[in-house]
Structure 1
Amino acid sequence: MKTNQFALFCLLTGFSIAGCNSKVSEKEKEAARQEGPDSVATLTDNLNLPAPFETKSVEHRPEEAGWPEGKMPTAPAGFTVTKFADKLESPRWSYIAPNGDIFVAESGTQKSADRITLLRDVNKDGKPEMREIFMEKLKRPLGMLVLNNYFYVANTDGLYRYPYKLGETRITGKGQKIVELPAGGYNNHWTRNLIANADGSKIYISVGSASNVADHGIEEEKRRANILEVNPDGTGERIYASGLRNPVGMDWAPGTNTLWTAVNERDKLGDELVPDYITSVKEGGFYGWPYAYFGPNEDPRRKGENPELVAKTIVPDVPVGSHTASLGLAFYDKTKFPAKYHHGAFVGQHGSWNRSTLAGYKVVFVPFKDGKPAGKPEDFLTGFVESEKKVYGRPAGVTVMDDGSLLVNDDSGGTIWRVAAR
Structure 2
Amino acid sequence: MPRMQTLVWSAAFALLTTTAFAQNVPSNLEKLGAFKTTGATPDIPLIPQTGSKAEAIKKHLAKIKLPPGFKISLYALVPDARHMAVGPQGVVTFVGTRKNKVYAVTDRGKSGVGDEVKPFASTIDLTIPNGVCFSKDGFLFVIEQNRVLMFPAAEFFYESPDVVAVPIVAQGELIPKEEESYNHTARVCRVGPDDKLYIALGQPFNVPAPDKLDLYKKWGIGGIIRMDREGKNREVFATGIRNSVGMDFSPKDKTLWFTDNQVDGMGDKIPPGELNRATQPGQNFGFPWYGGGKVRTVEYKEDQVPQNVVFPQVEMDAHAADLGMTFYTGRMFPKKYQGAIFSAQHGSWNRTDPIGARVMVTTLKEDGTADKTDVFAEGWLTPDGEYLGRPVDVAMLKDGSLLVSDDFAGALYRITYEGR
Q: Give the TM-score range, shorter chain.
A: 0.7 to 0.9
- Counterpart of 2:401 (choices 395, 399, 405) is 405
1:316 to partner: Cα distance: 1.0
The whole-number CA distance in structure 2 between the counterparts of 1:67 and 1:217 is 49
1:325-340 superposed matches below 5 A? 325-340=321-336
The answer to whether the 8 A contact 1:366-1:376 is kept is yes
1:102 to partner: Cα distance: 3.3
The answer to whether the 8 A contact 1:279-1:317 is kept is yes
Q: Could you tell which deviates more after superposition, 279-288 or 97-106? A: 97-106
User: Are 2:140 and 1:146 equivalent residues in the alignment?
Assistant: no
The whole-number CA distance in structure 2 between the counterparts of 1:284 and 1:216 is 20
User: Are 2:120 and 1:122 equivalent residues in the alignment?
Assistant: no
Distance 1:67 1:373, change over 3 A: farther
CA-to-aligned-CA distance 1:162-188 (integer Å, 9 cap, x gap) = 3435422245257333222236436x4
User: Are 2:184 and 1:189 equivalent residues in the alignment?
Assistant: yes
1:346 to partner: Cα distance: 0.6
- AA aligned opposite 2:299: R
SS in 1 for 2:245: strand
Distance 1:379 1:177, change over 3 A: same
1:106 to partner: Cα distance: 4.4
The whole-number CA distance in structure 2 between the counterparts of 1:345 and 1:292 is 24
Q: Could you tell which deviates more after superposition, 294-303 or 332-341? A: 294-303
Partner of 1:84: 75
- Counterpart of 1:103 (choices 88, 93, 96) is 93
The answer to whether the 8 A contact 2:130-2:144 is kept is yes
The whole-number CA distance in structure 2 between the counterparts of 1:131 and 1:314 is 41
CA-to-aligned-CA distance 1:124-150 (integer Å, 9 cap, x gap) = 221123333222331111222334664
- AA aligned opposite 2:113: K
1:279 to partner: Cα distance: 1.2
The answer to whether the 8 A contact 1:296-1:313 is kept is no
Question: What is the number of equivalent residue pairs in this alignment?
Answer: 348
- AA aligned opposite 1:160: L
| TM-score, structure 2 as length reference | 0.77
1:298-337 superposed matches below 5 A? 298-305=296-303, 307-309=304-306, 311-337=307-333
Distance 1:238 1:355, change over 3 A: same
User: Are 2:162 and 1:164 equivalent residues in the alignment?
Assistant: no
Unaligned regions of 5+ residues in structure 1, if any? 1-65
Partner of 2:199: 205
- AA aligned opposite 1:181: L
1:385 to partner: Cα distance: 1.2
The answer to whether the 8 A contact 2:84-2:96 is kept is no
The answer to whether the 8 A contact 1:287-1:295 is kept is no
1:7-406 superposed matches below 5 A? 67=56, 70-72=59-61, 73-86=64-77, 88-108=78-98, 112=99, 114-136=100-122, 137-147=125-135, 150-164=139-153, 166-169=155-158, 170=160, 172-173=162-163, 175-179=165-169, 180-182=173-175, 184-185=180-181, 188-200=183-195, 202-215=196-209, 217-218=211-212, 221=216, 222-282=219-279, 283-294=281-292, 297-305=295-303, 307-309=304-306, 311-370=307-366, 372-373=368-369, 375-406=371-402
The answer to whether the 8 A contact 2:270-2:295 is kept is no
The answer to whether the 8 A contact 2:331-2:338 is kept is yes
The whole-number CA distance in structure 2 between the counterparts of 1:261 and 1:85 is 27
Q: Could you tell which deviates more after superposition, 330-339 or 173-182? A: 173-182
- AA aligned opposite 1:85: A
SS in 1 for 2:82: strand
Distance 1:85 1:165, change over 3 A: closer
| TM-score, structure 1 as length reference | 0.77
The whole-number CA distance in structure 2 between the counterparts of 1:168 and 1:371 is 42
Distance 1:158 1:336, change over 3 A: same
SS in 1 for 2:232: coil
Higher relative contact order structure (alpha carbons within 8 Å, sequence separation ≥ 6)? 1
The whole-number CA distance in structure 1 between the counterparts of 2:321 and 2:404 is 15
Partner of 2:22: none
Distance 1:331 1:371, change over 3 A: farther
The whole-number CA distance in structure 2 between the counterparts of 1:371 and 1:415 is 37
